[in-house]
Structure 1
Amino acid sequence: MPVHFYWGEDQFTLHQAVKQLQKRCLDPQWEAFNFEKIPGEQADATQRGLEQALTPPFGHGDRLVWVVDSTLGQSCDDALLTRLQKSLPAIPADCHLLFTSGKKLDRRLKSTKCLEGNATIREFALISPWNVDALIHQIQAIARDLQLPLAAETEGFLAEALGNDTRLIWNELGKLKLYSESQPGPLTVSQVEELVNTSTQNSLQLAQAIRDGETAQALQLVADLLLTHNEPALKILATLTGQFRTWTLIKLALEAGEKDDKAIAAQADLSNPKRLYFLRKELRGITGGQLLKTLPLLLELEYQLKRGADPCSSLQTKVMELSSLFQPIHRRR
Structure 2
Amino acid sequence: MPIYLYWGEDDFAMSQAISTLKQDTLDRDWIQFNFDKLAGDKEDSILSALMQVMTPPFGGGDRVVWLFETNICQSCSEELLSQLQNTIPQIPDTTHFLLTTSKKPDARIKSTKLITKYAKVVEFALISPWQTEILIKKVEEVAQEKQVKLTPSAIKILASCVGNDSRLLWQELEKLAIYQGNNSAPIEEETVKSLVNVSTQNSLQLAQAILDRNIPLALTLVQDLITLNEPALRIVATLVGQFRTWAIVKTMIESGEKDEKKIAESADLGNPKRIYFLRQEIKARSSQQLLSSLPILLELETSLKLGADPLNALETKVIELCNV
| TM-score band, normalised by shorter chain | 0.7 to 0.9
What letter matches 1:102 in structure 2? S
* Of 227, 231, 234, the match for 1:228: 231
1:117 aligns with 2:121: no
TM-score under structure 2 length normalisation: 0.74
1:68 aligns with 2:68: yes
Q: Please tell me whether the aligned partners of residues 74 and 106 of structure 1 are also in contact (alpha carbons under 8 angstroms).
A: yes
What's the CA shift for 1:203?
4.3
Q: Where does the alignment leave 5 or more consecutive residues of structure 1 unmatched? A: 257-266, 329-333
What's the CA shift for 1:207?
2.9
Instruction: Tell me: CA distance 1:231–1:76, structure 2 relative to 1, closer, same or farther (3 Å).
Output: farther
What letter matches 2:286 in structure 1? Q
What's the CA shift for 1:154?
0.7
Q: Please tell me whether the aligned partners of residues 73 and 105 of structure 2 are also in contact (alpha carbons under 8 angstroms).
A: yes
- State the match for 2:53 in structure 1: 53
Cα RMSD between the aligned structures? 4.2
CA distance in 1 between partners of 2:228 and 2:40 (Å): 32
Instruction: Tell me: CA distance 1:294–1:187, structure 2 relative to 1, closer, same or farther (3 Å).
Output: same
* Of 283, 290, 296, the match for 2:286: 290
CA distance in 2 between partners of 1:179 and 1:45 (Å): 46
What's the CA shift for 1:186?
0.9
Q: Please tell me whether the aligned partners of residues 201 and 221 of structure 1 are also in contact (alpha carbons under 8 angstroms).
A: no
1:195 aligns with 2:198: no
CA distance in 1 between partners of 2:124 and 2:199 (Å): 27
Counterpart secondary structure, 1:194: helix
CA distance in 1 between partners of 2:240 and 2:107 (Å): 28
CA distance in 2 between partners of 1:233 and 1:111 (Å): 42
Instruction: Tell me: CA distance 1:234–1:8, structure 2 relative to 1, closer, same or farther (3 Å).
Output: farther
Q: Please tell me whether the aligned partners of residues 213 and 326 of structure 1 are also in contact (alpha carbons under 8 angstroms).
A: yes
CA distance in 2 between partners of 1:311 and 1:91 (Å): 59
Instruction: Tell me: CA distance 1:153–1:290, structure 2 relative to 1, closer, same or farther (3 Å).
Output: same
- State the match for 2:23 in structure 1: 23
Per-residue CA deviation, residues 231-276 of structure 1 (Å, 9 max, x unaligned), is: 598777655555x389859x98xxx9xxxxxxxxxx95059x9xx6
What's the CA shift for 1:3?
1.3
What's the CA shift for 1:131?
1.0
CA distance in 2 between partners of 1:49 and 1:235 (Å): 41
What's the CA shift for 1:142?
0.7
Instruction: Tell me: CA distance 1:224–1:191, structure 2 relative to 1, closer, same or farther (3 Å).
Output: closer
- State the match for 1:173 in structure 2: 173
Counterpart secondary structure, 2:286: helix
Q: Please tell me whether the aligned partners of residues 136 and 156 of structure 2 are also in contact (alpha carbons under 8 angstroms).
A: yes
- State the match for 1:264 in structure 2: none
Aligned counterparts, 1:153-168, within 5 A: 153-168=153-168
Counterpart secondary structure, 1:204: helix
What's the CA shift for 1:192?
1.9
Instruction: Tell me: CA distance 1:191–1:120, structure 2 relative to 1, closer, same or farther (3 Å).
Output: same
CA distance in 2 between partners of 1:141 and 1:100 (Å): 24
Counterpart secondary structure, 1:99: strand
- State the match for 1:263 in structure 2: none
- The size of the alignment, in residue pairs, is 296
Per-residue CA deviation, residues 36-79 of structure 1 (Å, 9 max, x unaligned), is: 11123444121111111111111221110011111112211111
* Of 262, 268, 273, the match for 1:269: 273
Instruction: Tell me: CA distance 1:222–1:159, structure 2 relative to 1, closer, same or farther (3 Å).
Output: closer
What letter matches 2:48 in structure 1? R
Q: Please tell me whether the aligned partners of residues 6 and 99 of structure 2 are also in contact (alpha carbons under 8 angstroms).
A: yes
CA distance in 2 between partners of 1:176 and 1:52 (Å): 43
Counterpart secondary structure, 1:12: helix
- State the match for 1:327 in structure 2: 323
What letter matches 2:112 in structure 1? T
TM-score under structure 1 length normalisation: 0.72
CA distance in 1 between partners of 2:177 and 2:42 (Å): 42
- State the match for 2:261 in structure 1: none
Q: Please tell me whether the aligned partners of residues 198 and 228 of structure 2 are also in contact (alpha carbons under 8 angstroms).
A: no
CA distance in 2 between partners of 1:235 and 1:45 (Å): 39
